Amino acid sequence: MKVIIDCDNTFGVPGRPIDDGQTLLYLLGRDDIEIVGITTTHGNSTIDDVYPATQWLVKHSRQPDIPVLKGGPRGNKGPTDASRFLAATAAAHKGQIQLLAIGTMSNLHEAALDDPSFYRNLAGIAAMGGYRHPLPVRGWNKIGEVNLSRDPRASFSMINADCPVTIFDAHVCFQAPFGLRELHAIYQIDKPQYYLMRDYLLANISELSEPVDYLWDLLPAVYLSYPELFHRNLVHLASTEVDLRTGTLVVDPERGPLVNLPDYITDIDLFYEVLYTAWRKAPLVM
């Protein structure tokens, strides 16, 4: 499967989320995935943090030659290296590229402006972002949504894409915690990765009162190979650009594009087994 990852990776940046980096390492360990390229966007931090962090991670991976393209800063108007790469690669491989969209959606929108056939050229989009209602977990319900809210016009474009769209919202992601217990297995697999993840989790104690995160971006990544691990939930999404300013996903019985919005993980034990198997194959090379 040919995959492009559009991400706001900050793995290794002090105090910034680690899930994009965990996702990249997972996909690097999948024998059934060919990472055609990685496009970077703002979100977890500025593009000037995200781009070099992603270059560093790829450089220290088992596939250091994967192209990494830079998107624009928040509020950017006009094409970027990332959006040009997306449009050109989708056109060159019509119907073959799965796009994993796990950051702000700006690059996708710019690619569609550059080439109106962009979305139609994709095999599909698996994205992470949005809320259906306030988050239930203490601490997390005070943290704003990032992926869809930072560029609502671009998010609206993605939701209405002319290709199959699957979106994992924050609620289903709460079924996949990643704390010190889940981290322990990484120690025997990849010690550099273990220490980077541990430092981030321990930093969460001051903000969230517990050393825990959730495997946000891993869910759409695992979905690419194992769609059966997630309950298929076809719904109409009627979110407007105004709704998306807060990352709000509005489900309507009839109005809006038909989108797959998985609502639960069907086998959580197998989900973690899949993750650890791939991570074992793709340690950091330090």
* SS3 category, 191: helix
Please report whether residue 275 resides in a domain. yes
What tokens does 149 get?
A: 């809210």
Please report whether residue 264 resides in a domain. yes
Alpha-carbon distance of 169 to 243, in angstroms, equals: 14
Please report whether residue 73 resides in a domain. yes
* SS3 category, 208: helix
* SS3 category, 159: helix
Please report whether residue 145 resides in a domain. yes
What tokens does 139 get?
A: 């601490």
The tens-digit pLDDT sequence of the chain (286 residues) is 999 999 999 988 888 888 999 999 999 999 999 999 999 999 999 999 999 999 999 999 989 999 999 999 998 889 999 999 999 999 999 999 999 999 999 999 999 999 999 999 999 999 999 998 877 666 555 667 889 999 999 999 999 999 999 999 999 988 998 887 787 888 877 777 778 777 777 765 555 555 667 899 999 999 999 999 999 999 999 999 999 999 999 999 999 999 999 999 999 999 999 999 999 888 888 7
Sign of CA dihedral 159, 165, 171, 177: negative
Q: What is the CATH number of the domain that holds 244?
A: 3.90.245.10
The pLDDT assigned to 97 comes to 98
- Domain of 217 in residue numbering reads as 2-281
The pLDDT assigned to 143 comes to 64
Alpha-carbon distance of 266 to 202, in angstroms, equals: 29
Could you tell me the CA-to-CA distances from 80 to 91, 162, 204 in Å, in that order? 17, 22, 34
Query: Which of the 8 DSSP states describes residue 145?
Result: P
The pLDDT assigned to 180 comes to 77
* Helix, strand, coil percent content, the chain, rounded in steps of 5: 40, 15, 40
Please report whether residue 286 resides in a domain. no
In terms of pTM, does the model score above 0.85? yes
Closest by CA to 165, choosing from 123, 130, 133, is: 123
Residue 151 class from Cβ within 10 Å (0-12 exposed, 13-18 middle, 19+ buried)? buried
- What residues are paired with 124 via a beta bridge? 98
At residue 217, φ and ψ (nearest 5 deg) are: -75, -15
Please report whether residue 52 resides in a domain. yes
* Range 219-236 burial, b when 16+ CB lie within 10 A, else e: bbbbbbbeeebbeeeebe
Residue 138 class from Cβ within 10 Å (0-12 exposed, 13-18 middle, 19+ buried)? exposed
Please report whether residue 157 resides in a domain. yes
Please report whether residue 269 resides in a domain. yes
Could you give the number of structural domains in the chain? 1
